[in-house]
Copies of this chain bind each other. A is one copy, B any other.
């Protein structure tokens, strides 16, 4: 039962907000969707495997409007953004994107957005699937800060895959090749001003284009599509197999409010001594001093291909003792085995250790603890 994701009909209404690109995803026959930030997000077109192989070789266009932005601007904007993350934000420059876990006063992860610095006192937080808008609004109100916190009319569209740079250079000129990872520029495309960042929720590289006028959504899609035809462009979406192979964690799957960043492999984004005030400092300092009891493990599971689990699967040590949970999994064509993320007891998280996972078969499946490169 664990291993069969529920596949059923999805019914949408106004509550699950329409994306500016949604008609194109329909026309290209997206076969499966999930819901993310109260919006539909396609999960596969031809099939996750066929989509994966195309993504690794060509270029795809992805409707990722569900990566909703939270704008924080005004006098206290920097103070508010610093308050909610253990990563330093003040040192980021205008034109830079910075991955930053948002952490509450107990050390729990609220979200893990990219923070985009548009101006000295203007930020977009490009969020994963939780209402960061409401959390920031609450803190801003409670603290009495002089900042505006709102959801701007912004919808990202991603261009991903090895041919993405050629495509964008055709559209915008050769200079775009020099755009560095996690940096952005502004440009005009399809008669509308967009922000173009070298980023994307995958391992194949590419760009995210931040549309600011929803009425231009289809025109923007069509303009990229036309430029992409010579590169065999297809409609695609963040690909589960590519995500796991690339080691990208997913908020809600691999970390939740019940987790602290140390147990999710995010220690490198924590600066316990950053200059600005932040609400998680005391909690994270305590956890760091005591040592996190759990930690992120990378597992390979030999044998027949396994699917993404509906819910967490129990992980046991060699003696059958419960040591944690498997949170995401995919069969990898590249590594020719099943790859998975797990949250396990730190003491049991030893490179090369053999553990067991209850995948819903008669007996647990053996798994090996590997490193971030799946070795």
Contact = CB atoms under 8 A, between A and B. Distances in A.
A31 interface: yes
Interface residues of A, number: 58
A216 interface: no
A25 to B, nearest CB: 9
Nearest to A48: B11
Interface in A34-56: 34-35, 38, 40, 43-44
Contacts of A251: 15
Contacts of A135: 131, 134-135, 137-138
Chain multiplicity (copies): 2
Most buried by B among A7, A12, A30, A135: A12
A38 B252 contact: yes
Contact of A32 (B11, B134, B279, B309): B11
25 contacts: A6-B11, A9-B32, A10-B10, A10-B33, A11-B32, A11-B34, A11-B43, A11-B44, A13-B250, A14-B253, A14-B309, A14-B310, A14-B311, A15-B250, A16-B252, A34-B35, A35-B35, A110-B134, A132-B134, A134-B134, A134-B138, A137-B138, A141-B142, A142-B142, A142-B143
10 tightest Cβ-Cβ pairs between the two chains A and B: A142-B142, A138-B138, A15-B252, A131-B131, A10-B10, A35-B35, A134-B135, A9-B32, A138-B139, A142-B143
